[in-house]
Amino acid sequence: SSIKTRVQIAFPNLPQNSFEIQLETISNKLNFEYKTPTAIRIYNQFKKQNVFGDLKSEVEVAQKLASTEVQDNIIQKVELIDKGFLTIQLNDQFIEDQLNVLLNNGLKFPLKKKQKVVVDFSSPNIAKEMHVGHLRSTILGESICRILEFQGQEVVRVNHIGDWGTQFGMLINHLLEEYPDYQTNKPALKELEDLYKAAKKKFDCNEEFKVKSQQYVVKLQALDPVCVDAWKMICELSRQEYNKIYQRLNVKITEFGESYYNSILPEIVKECEDKGIVELDQGAKIIRVKGEKVPLMIVKKDGGYNYDTTDMAAAKTRILDWKCDRLLYLTDVGQYNHFKLIFEGAKLMGWHNPLETQMEHMGFGLVLGPDSKRFRSRTGEAVKFIDLLDEAKERALRQIQQRFQQNQQGKEFTTGTALSPEEFDFTAERIGIAAIKYYELKQNRISDYIFDYDKMLDPKGNTAVYLMYSYVRIVSILRKSGIKDFELFKRNNKFKITHQHERHLAAQLLRFIDVIQSVTDQLAINWLCDYIVEYLNLLLEQFCSLLLMYKNC
């Protein structure tokens, strides 16, 4: 609007509000400079209408705009660069005001409307150990929750674990055969995985076992006490395993697994039938969605419910009972179609109105091994989540021990006091986990990536190690300068720009709110990572010279 005013003052005959102003930031230049083709635009748009007097080109129009005197507290300088383009420099005062608003708000996000957001993430399957496929979901999920919470949204963190379904028939069957006294003599956590494998094997090659297992499924669904009891024990064992991981990653999540919807599945199916959208297909009940080849199957031909049924029930519960405004589902992109069907199904049922609720699949690519194939362990199985954490920690430990030794030999830094074994352990755990998390977060989420410990733990790359190191360096420079934190940038309790470096830092800081907004709009956490790296690098480049300047004045 500041530029519009300028145009109007320079050319009073121009029809008001008949043109748009377009601004581009000048890349790599964080000094509040913008470039605009306004002069060229209006010249071409209005040259036939005799509003420019004797000005005969876009360059002359641009010159006139640049030299027009305007009382303006946003724009400091307008300059002509080539071909009629203008650069615009913002006023220091304006930047200072913005910065003061931001900082006096305590970096609070200016939220227009509070939303209730359900984030469905992590969601492993009972009795199978959490593997690398759940790593992305868990890390991205926790992160997007924290960012949404920072924005001030109400976030419900949901663990939609696979704790119901046909696999429990064979599990219960096997458990009762092999551990008849399981109540007093519980199988160990480790045995659970083997239990699954052994049960699966028997199920596949032993017809009698298979039939009996199917009976157990029916019994479990009818809430037979013996089956329910065994089911509970199996779930509890898995839960302990997950919780260890959530604790180490500092992930907060609440379980609303598939079984949570068990009691409403029959009414959900009935509701769909009453709505007239259900078809019979070789004994199964399906819902066809326009434009999709594969239908939703809400009742299998044996009468059982499945993944589609629970997700339909979950969608209804979350939208109508929990009254949420936005629903995010985090799984790998392989489940894209499943969720598309669920979203369309919920629309057909009238539960989901896209004008009121957003349903989004926050899909992500695969984690690959060093050979660029699906990440598997040496034995060909999916790599276990917990092993990844342990290995990263182990490597981080070696890294810091090595550095510490070099320290002692005076090869690297001269500072660094001895760490106790506990401190080494603690530090390695923090670094290892941060390395994995950050490596995940900085990726474009749709792409696959190679799980590479060396890259994750590289102290010089765009890694958590580098970020933490930079942060510590900045804090230590600040401490050694003897000046207490950012109080020093304030004069009379107001931020005041006196140096070009300060303009740069201010520019980067002022992008913060926009960055957060686009991260939650586009669900692209990597943009926040980029922002942080740019900010830290800028600080490292300019901080020392700024501090020197302050010390001298």
Angle (nearest 5°) at CA 467 between 481 and 498: 45
Among the listed ranges 118-126, 205-213, 353-361, 383-391, the one in contact with ligand ARG (CB under 6 A) is: 118-126
Query: Whose CA is closest to 144, among 364, 389, 408?
Result: 364
362 binds ligand ARG (CB under 6 A): no
How do beta strands 86-90 and 33-36 pair?
antiparallel
* Shorter beta-carbon distance to ligand ARG: residue 75 or 313: 313
Among the listed ranges 117-125, 141-149, 438-446, 482-490, the one in contact with ligand ARG (CB under 6 A) is: 117-125
Q: Residues 516, 151: contact at Cβ < 8 Å?
A: yes
DSSP element (H, E) containing 393: helix 385-408
160 binds ligand ARG (CB under 6 A): yes
- Closest residue to ligand ARG, judged by C-beta, is 123
Among the listed ranges 123-131, 246-254, 413-421, 498-506, the one in contact with ligand ARG (CB under 6 A) is: 123-131
Cα(99)–Cα(504) distance, integer angstroms: 12
> What tokens were used for 482?
């003897």
Cα(455)–Cα(217) distance, integer angstroms: 46
**Single residue of 36, 41, 65, 120 touching ligand ARG by CB under 6 A:** 120
* Shorter beta-carbon distance to ligand ARG: residue 123 or 221: 123
Cα(361)–Cα(348) distance, integer angstroms: 18
Task: In angstroms, give the least distance from the CB of 436 to ligand ARG.
Answer: 19
* Shorter beta-carbon distance to ligand ARG: residue 58 or 308: 308
DSSP codes, 246-294 = HHHHT---EE--GGGGGGGHHHHHHHHHHTT-EEEETTEEEE--TT-SS
**Single residue of 61, 314, 349, 546 touching ligand ARG by CB under 6 A:** 314
Query: Whose CA is closest to 7, among 47, 19, 88?
Result: 19
Q: Residues 442, 529: contact at Cβ < 8 Å?
A: yes
36 binds ligand ARG (CB under 6 A): no
> What tokens were used for 130?
């959490």
Cα(156)–Cα(524) distance, integer angstroms: 19
125 binds ligand ARG (CB under 6 A): yes
Task: In angstroms, give the least distance from the CB of 121 to ligand ARG.
Answer: 8
SS3 298: strand
Binding mask 496-515 for ligand ARG (x = CB under 6 A): --------------------
Binding mask 4-23 for ligand ARG (x = CB under 6 A): --------------------
123 binds ligand ARG (CB under 6 A): yes
Angle (nearest 5°) at CA 160 between 156 and 166: 160
Amino acid residing at 148? L
Q: Residues 99, 507: contact at Cβ < 8 Å?
A: no
Task: In angstroms, give the least distance from the CB of 215 to ligand ARG.
Answer: 25
Q: Residues 227, 131: contact at Cβ < 8 Å?
A: no
Task: In angstroms, give the least distance from the CB of 23 to ligand ARG.
Answer: 42
In Å, what is the CA distance from 92 to each residue of 48, 99, 546? 38, 10, 17
* Shorter beta-carbon distance to ligand ARG: residue 33 or 120: 120
**Single residue of 311, 344, 440, 502 touching ligand ARG by CB under 6 A:** 311
Task: In angstroms, give the least distance from the CB of 122 to ligand ARG.
Answer: 8
Count of C-beta atoms within a 10 Å radius of residue 64: 17
Q: Residues 352, 359: contact at Cβ < 8 Å?
A: yes
> What tokens were used for 301?
């031909």
Contact partners, residue 340, CB within 8 Å, separation at least 6: 289, 292, 361
Task: In angstroms, give the least distance from the CB of 132 to ligand ARG.
Answer: 12
**Single residue of 238, 331, 443, 463 touching ligand ARG by CB under 6 A:** 331
Task: In angstroms, give the least distance from the CB of 423 to ligand ARG.
Answer: 37
Binding mask 287-306 for ligand ARG (x = CB under 6 A): --------------------
* Shorter beta-carbon distance to ligand ARG: residue 37 or 124: 124
How do beta strands 278-281 and 254-255 pair?
unpaired
**Single residue of 37, 162, 169, 345 touching ligand ARG by CB under 6 A:** 162
* Shorter beta-carbon distance to ligand ARG: residue 129 or 311: 311
Binding mask 43-72 for ligand ARG (x = CB under 6 A): ------------------------------
Task: In angstroms, give the least distance from the CB of 538 to ligand ARG.
Answer: 39
Task: In angstroms, give the least distance from the CB of 346 to ligand ARG.
Answer: 12
Helix ranges, 409-552 (H): 421-441, 453-456, 464-481, 500-510, 512-522, 526-552
Among the listed ranges 120-128, 188-196, 320-328, 500-508, the one in contact with ligand ARG (CB under 6 A) is: 120-128
Cα(60)–Cα(39) distance, integer angstroms: 9
Q: How many residues bind ligand ARG (CB under 6 A)?
A: 10
Task: In angstroms, give the least distance from the CB of 218 to ligand ARG.
Answer: 22
Task: In angstroms, give the least distance from the CB of 190 to ligand ARG.
Answer: 21
Amino acid residing at 415? T
Contact partners, residue 343, CB within 8 Å, separation at least 6: 315, 352, 359, 361
**Single residue of 260, 329, 385, 453 touching ligand ARG by CB under 6 A:** 329
Among the listed ranges 116-124, 417-425, 441-449, 517-525, the one in contact with ligand ARG (CB under 6 A) is: 116-124
Binding residues for ligand ARG, rule: CB under 6 A, are 120, 123-125, 160, 162, 311, 314, 329, 331
